[in-house]
Amino acid sequence: MEFTSGTKKIFLFIMEDWKLLLFLTFIFSVYFYYTSTFDFFEKKGIKYMKPTIFLGNLGQRLIAKKSFHLFQLDIYNYFRGNPYGGIFEGRRPVLYLFDPELIKAVTIRDFEHFVDRNTLNSNEPRYLKQSLLNLKGPEWKNIRSILTPAFSSARLKCMLSLIEMCSEQMIIYLKQYDKTEVEMKDTMGHFTLEVIGACAFGIKCDALTDENAHFLKVAEKFNFMPKLKRIIIFSFLIFMPKMIRYFNISFLYTPSIEELVRILKAAKEERRLSGNKKNDFLQLLIDATESEKSDTTSKTHLDDDTIDAQSLLFLIAGYETSSTLLSFAVHVLATKPHIQNQLRQHVEEVTSGKKIDYEVLSQLSYLEAFLLETLRKYPPVSRVDRTCTKNYTLPGTSVQIKVGEVVAIPIYGIHMDPDIYPDPEEFRPERFMGDEKKERSSHLFLAFGAGPRNCIGLRFAMFSAKLAMIALLKNFKFSASSKTVDPIKTDKTAVLLKAEGGLWVHLEAL
């Protein structure tokens, strides 16, 4: 067979420059793969942010130019006036919801279509995989039903004396810093760790009596992330999201998590061996396990790893979020003395001459409003997301969401929307009182999430926060110090809310 001169030239070019052709083919394949999803929203007629290859719309976040909270606010403002909009996390499309009715539909009314959270799905240990945060479908529902009684009114009442004891220890601890500057995030972390240890696991953490206590030092580093690890995780999420399932990767600091699990396992075994029963979270899990063993029809499979997962989640989630709430609340007191005076007067009027019990706590309406307003302006988590588990069409639209696709709700954006919360930068507890509270849809306050998959410990968090604030207001006056930064600058590397440089106040015993 004879070749034409043109064919011969092409053949010779391929033979001589195959490496260049292979390289160009590789470049084209990579470009095609990482941009092949970029028409996802355009095909659906949805407004979206123009993405960049590899990074999508995460450029500012990956180089830590903007905090995660402000990033969510930017997304919200970019799509203002639209019921929904799209962004890209790497090559993965994420549909954001902004319309209140759509948010209600996805989180509450049509929850069965969005049961699962969007999780990392790495090959991490079962004591992390099996936590309520990561569980999916029926398994999540079963474990949630087992855990719910741990936060009933009856159990909270039983915990009151323990939390009061921790509050008294906190006052003693803080008095050593009288008339000095104090960083409140660490201080409130000591308190919340002591409360959770006592109320949930019967563990004395010594967090308020010994600043070098082992449990405290271990717990404080649970979310520490070295720079190299941060780069590795983001590289997986952006470039190889499907490969992450084969690696033991977690956002948590492995040495601390392993030691915390060891401590919690020891507490569990000691409880089982001693036979001493307590009315706490750990006992509820142990009893549920024993009950399941005797019930041959049970399908819950509440094994030791699942118990350890819930224990660890309760510890680290409660420790981080409650300490954030209390520390930002004290910052507000220090920078807004008129609110501090009004709140102290309110607490004195309601509690004067009374024993602090569950009923008295329920009467502290202004204190509750103050804490809710703190959570509105400073929510520990800035976004909530859900993975579609059953094909769904957004109500009133032709937009279809398929199984596996992710929807997100920008908590911080909603909380700072002037149409929902007028003058959002102003701190005003009255937003959560009287008619103003009644006239606003409850699902537009998202500090604890919304719907069946909201924060299971929200009542415990508010209960312990109220007791802590009563003790603080009765014993101390807070004011701005030379280290106080207002308005607060948020840490650009953290996912959860964190103040850059800490939250410093001047403290004076009353």
Binding residue numbers for heme: 455
How many Å separate Cα 253 from the centre of its chain? 16
Q: What angle do CA 379, 385, 387 make, to 5 degrees?
A: 165
Q: Quick check: 196 and 315 in contact, CB under 8 A?
A: yes
Q: Quick check: 256 and 222 in contact, CB under 8 A?
A: yes
H or E element in which residue 507 lies: strand 504-509
Q: Any idea which residue has 């109220």 for tokens?
A: 466
Amino acid at 58: L
Which DSSP state fits 435? H
Closest CA to 57 of 77, 36, 42, 72: 72
Q: How far apart are CA 392 and CA 402, in angstroms?
A: 6
How many Å separate Cα 258 from the centre of its chain? 21
Three-state SS at 411: helix
415 is written with which tokens?
């909380």
Annotated binding residues, written as ranges, equal 455
Q: Quick check: 450 and 108 in contact, CB under 8 A?
A: yes
Q: Quick check: 257 and 222 in contact, CB under 8 A?
A: yes
Amino acid at 477: K
Compute the residue count for the chain: 510
Which DSSP state fits 498? -
Q: How far apart are CA 209 and CA 23, in angstroms?
A: 64
